[in-house]
Structure 1
Amino acid sequence: MSARKPNVVSLFSGAGGLDAGLERAGWHVSVATDFAAPAMATLRATQAVGVPVRGRAATHLDGTRLIEADVQDLTARDLRPKGSNSVWRPDLVVGGPPCQPWSSAGLQRGLGDPRGQLIAHYLRLIGELRPKFVIFENVRGLATARGATGTPGEVLRSIQDDLYDLGYSSRVATLNAADYGAAQRRVRVILIASAEHVLPLFPAPTHSRHPEHGLAPWVTLRALLESLPEPDLDDVVRPTGKRADALRKLEPGTGIKTNGRVMANRPSGQWGYRQDAFRADLDLPSRTVRAASTPDWIRMEGDSDIRRLTWRECAALQGFPAQWQFAGTASQRFVQIGNAVQVDVAEAVGRGLLGALRKGEVSEGTLAPVLPADLEERIRYTIAEHKTNGHLRRRTTASDQSKAVAS
């Protein structure tokens, strides 16, 4: 361990948020791969300019082998260092298969979406590579996603069961980026696993909305934006069209409402805010940064009008260094940024695993998979809610899919 940095094989790397956080924590990404050409162009451009790793005498992705390929076509041989034999094992395999099949912002088709099948290839490569540790990241919706029998929570349980069959113990948690110093309320499912090491606990929060016990207060969107340079005028989007007046009248922390949908336990209708028509509250961390070119509206002191958050500001909310070289069109950059793992969370999780790796192997046998109490409660709620309103959701989903096909 003293002669080299522990290595990482990064699958579904995207723009490199998980990789950036892990390298801050002290890991080295030996290989990173993704199928999306704009994301791989971002990694190549970032590697070329040599972005400094905060707090370390190193640059991100230094010496990292970048592979643009479909994970379905990859084998362990493709991911091992050149010249190594089949005995070589990575210290860590990481990745977050595409989240759209489980995301509330999508159609939530789950395993019915071809992208939902990519989890199987992630697990296949873990079986082939036999890493010492594993990190799996995905949207919170995965925690209650239905599998083959239609039972909420089945997909996450099956991932843990498959890892158990491979000899890996695992832990699962939902982590909020705002609790780790990010100016963004972004909750994600994180799974860590190991076959030979004692798994650490998930990192304790450093920040809180209601700080106590020495925790710092959440970092606000206002504080983050005030720390950044003025946005490029070419990146600024102001409201236009027939909804412009309605957008300007919004109070911070509110948006234009969607149509209410009457349900058995919501007689006044279930409604939310249009994802493209919400005005951010500057005195809170931002809402979750999405993979769309319609982020929230803001109005800073001294501004003559409201505007959308720029893609550079969204990248900062995701924790990317200012020098990170995002490639592609503005729309493609928003997609890469919104799909990325938040860097501060990745760093916090990475530090915990690095500490466990340095303690050395401690055989304790493979522990049976267990979900934390908060996720078990969320699954129970989903089952009960589905019994009450499931028929309405199925009808709406079918309608949404028909519209998607028609478009």
Structure 2
Amino acid sequence: MYSMNTSAPLSQRCPRPLLSSLSYHLPKRKFSFPPLPTKHHLLTSTFPRSPSLSLHLESSRISARKCVPENVSNSFEPDQVQEEAFGSIQEIAHNEIDITKILMGANSIIPHVVLASTLLALIFPPSFTWFTTRYYAPALGFLMFAVGVNSSSKDFIEAINRPGVLTAGYVGQFIIKPLLGYFFGTISVTAFRLPTSIGAGIMLVSCVSGAQLSNYATFLADPAMAPLSIVMTSLSTATAVLVTPMLSLLLIGKRLPVDVKGMMSSIVQIVVVPIAAGLLLNRFSPRISAAIRPLLPPLSVFVTALCVGSPLAINIDAVLSPFGIIILLLIIGFHASSFFAGYILTGLVFQKAPDVKALQRTLSFETGMQSSLLALALANKFFKDPLVGVPPAISVVIMSLMGFSLVMLWTKRRDQVPA
């Protein structure tokens, strides 16, 4: 038998390899090795039943255990190493995905941000007064750039296949809504004896294109309709360079002077160029576009908060004046009637469509939510009377709160409908 010197160094204490030991002690004859199910049988039952051989195998096995610590031997098991490595990779990827989801999901807090900005501007105006009117155009341009980066030609192609719906959305934007704006703007001057500039501000709100927030509201209520909403908003935004100045001249021109050429130039700079830049970046530099896309939602929420709070803070005296409540009620009436008209008229025109309810909600958002920030930027730049900007400033808040309230209402009803 092989004797082990326990006082020798570790390298000398270890027995010779198992196969060499076996070849030395086994009798010189052929053996058959039947298949055995467990590792225990490999050491006890594969070979002829010889007491000396069994004792030698057992001592070799014990010696091997003493030579290699248990924690060391376990650490080199292939399955465990692979599982630990794969788990680490999964954890890193999961963390990255979570961060991206958090950034991309920042738009979900827009209703809360709008409400918080409104309250903060009313309670402590200096928190927003530093964001003066000269920043409105660049801020709106950034929001338009974000829309361009998040759009693609595929979205347009899918929605263009429904020209009837696009036409209905366009009619709601630039015919129904301006008529309602003209009605509420007129009664503000004739019935409530408000300054002419207030009526002009209400009409200006009704002349601008659709709001990008309508796309997000549509996505929350009916995700499948989001591309259609994007196309309708993009179409109204692209043609606003001609339509908005002409409508403003038609509705407001008899009351206040309107610079049509100046409005067209500003809309090109604020809307058309940023959206085109975003689309081009998305098309020709997809890596850069993909890298900055997760950062755009939180930045857009921050910019939206500034654009909501600043107009209220700057015009706080007019908003809290005796006629401020009347303006608020007129703006609420204007938006409520716009949401209602878009919903009802769509139901009458597309009553046979299989997705008529989803279309009604989508066109209601498109008709009731418009780019009040654009109206505010135009009011501050092209009208000398600061009161023209008061209705757009109030409209930014009312439009957002009413729109997302409808999202919560319609989403709750949709979830309650049995499948």
TM-score (norm 2): 0.27
More strand per residue: 1 or 2?
1
Larger Rg, first or second structure (1 or 2):
2
Q: RCO (CA 8 Å, sep 6+): is it higher in 1 or 2?
A: 2
TM-score (norm 1): 0.28
